Amino acid sequence: MAMDFRRLRYFVTLADELHFRRSAEKLGVSQPPLSMAIQSLESELGVALFERTRRSVSLTAAGQRFHADAKRILASVSEAALAARRASEGEVGQLRIGLTPSAAFNRIVPSILRTYRERFPIVEFSLSEANTPAQIEAVHAGALDGAFVRPTDIRLTGLVATTVLEEPMLAAIPSRHRLAGAESIALSALKDEVIILRPRPIGARLVDRIISACEGAGFSPIIAQQDAPQMTSILSLVAADLGITFVPASMASLYTDFVVYKRVSDDVLPPALLSFVRQKEAASPTLAHFEAVVAQQVAGSERQ
């Protein structure tokens, strides 16, 4: 049975109004097309839906039952159409975003996430925390729509990377360290210190740039690459007085009872970069809206 929605809409309007002239006016048609549509519908169903007299129109028992079902069908079609429009406009759907543990310590990332959730509250939004190599691999594999990462030497082929933030690196030293009271320190003052860095497979680019900076300051650093994949884990080792490290300035609120953070006065440390990456071919409306929020927040932070 081929049932078109136009006839269903005509039927429901007439069933609601029980008056041909008013129904035709409401539908924006003349009475003859309305009458023909109802007759065609009754013929197709093989039942009378209305009882008609010169003075009145009323629903039959079959018409009453069909009225309830027809209204439900039209409502479902309307909801489906609305959902489709919302999906095409990025107002509903799914968005999977990754971030490195250090990314959340700078105000811009929480601000981006909060702003997006306020604007698109019914998008199914999920966050995944892992180190940069794992996040980039997840974006490559399509398991994430995008991720906030610290740029590394891991391949970015097929990905688009947008710089979100560039912030200074600070020296993190134990609070009882001999240099804890200094306003700032020269990198060369740390030549005899054990420097705790992330494992090379996770942070090779940063490790190499720190080593290069130390060599530029006139010494070969004493490196201890602990099995601590996250910067927060490394800071706990600094708090335990096992060495020093270097972290983005946004992490200077951690372990403040046991760790102090110092600017390196000769400005030889590389800045800490934070980027948002996605697949080049990714074009979902939800991701497009998220990137718009990222761009807006980045522009706002640059004006401050």
Looking at the fold, whether 17 and 58 belong to one and the same domain comes out as yes
Query: Which of 49, 72, 88 corresponds to the end of one domain?
Result: 88
pLDDT tier at 107 (50, 70, 90 boundaries)?
confident
The mean-pLDDT minimum among 140-154, 184-198, 241-255 falls in: 140-154
Task: Determine the residue type at 44.
Answer: E
Q: Which helix (H) or strand (E) holds 23?
A: helix 20-27
Higher pLDDT, 175 or 202: 175
Together in a domain, 176 and 193: yes
* Cα–Cα distance for residue pair 204/198, rounded to 1 Å: 8
267-284: average pLDDT: 84
User: Which residues are bridge partners to 261 per DSSP?
Assistant: 172
pLDDT band at 39 (very low <50, low <70, confident <90, very high): very high
**Nearest CA among 256, 97, 261, 296 for reference residue 167:** 261
Check pLDDT > 50 for residue 2.
no
How many domains does the chain fold into? 3
CATH number at residue 14: 1.10.10.10
135/100 same-domain check: yes
Name the average pLDDT for the chain: 86
**88, 108, 141: which is the final residue of a domain?**
88
Show the domain range for 136.
Answer: 94-166+273-303
Please say if the pLDDT value at position 78 is more than 90.
no
φ, ψ at 275 (rounded to 5°): -125, 155
Considering the chain, what percentage of its residues have pLDDT values greater than 70?
91
Q: How far apart are CA 88 and CA 84, in angstroms?
A: 6
Which residue, among 61, 5, 53, 14, has the nearest Cα to 35 in the 3D structure?
Answer: 14
Instruction: Record the tokens describing residue 1, joined without a space.
Output: 């049975």
Q: pLDDT value at position 174?
A: 95
Q: Are residues 38 and 66 in the same domain?
A: yes
Structure confidence at residue 47 (pLDDT): 92
Average pLDDT on 4-26 reads 89
Helix-helix angle 61-88:5-17, to 10 degrees: 120
Please report the DSSP string for 124-174 in residue order. Answer: EEEEEE--HHHHHHHHHHTS-SEEEE---SS--TTEEEEEEEEE-EEEEEE
Q: Which of 3, 40, 34 is nearest to 17 (CA)?
A: 34
Instruction: Based on the fold, state whether residues 101 and 132 are members of the same structural domain.
Output: yes
Among 66, 88, 110, identify where a domain stops: 88
- Extract the runs of DSSP E, i.e. beta strands, from 9-105: 50-52, 57-59, 94-99
Q: What is the pLDDT of residues 143-153, one digit of tens each?
A: 999 999 987 65
Q: How far apart are CA 133 and CA 62, in angstroms?
A: 65
Together in a domain, 282 and 222: no
Same domain, 98 and 243: no
pLDDT in tens, 65-77: 999 999 998 888 8
Whether 262 and 208 map to the same domain: the answer is yes
Q: What is the CATH number of the domain that holds 218?
A: 3.40.190.10
Rg (C-alpha) for the chain, rounded Å, is 32
- Would you say residue 34 has pLDDT above 60? yes
Assign residue 160 a region: left if phi > 0, alpha if psi is -120 to 50, beta otherwise? beta
pLDDT, tens digit, 9 for 90 and up, residues 159-190: 888 899 888 889 999 999 999 999 899 999 99
Residues 162 and 144 in one domain: yes
Q: Looking at the structure, do residues 257 and 111 belong to the same domain, yes or no?
A: no
pLDDT at 299: 85
DSSP run (H or E) holding 26:
helix 20-27
Running DSSP on this structure, what letter comes out for residue 59? E
HEC states along 187-249?
A: HHHHCCCEEEECCHHHHHHHHHHHHHHHHHCCCCCEEEECCCCCHHHHHHHHHCCCCEEEEEH
Bridge partners of 161, per DSSP, are 277
Smallest CA-to-CA distance from 232 within 142, 80, 104, 111 is with 104
- Domain match, 260 and 294 both: no
Q: What is the pLDDT of residue 1?
A: 44
Indicate whether 142 pLDDT > 50: yes
- Claim to verify: residue 128 and residue 155 sit in the same structural domain: yes
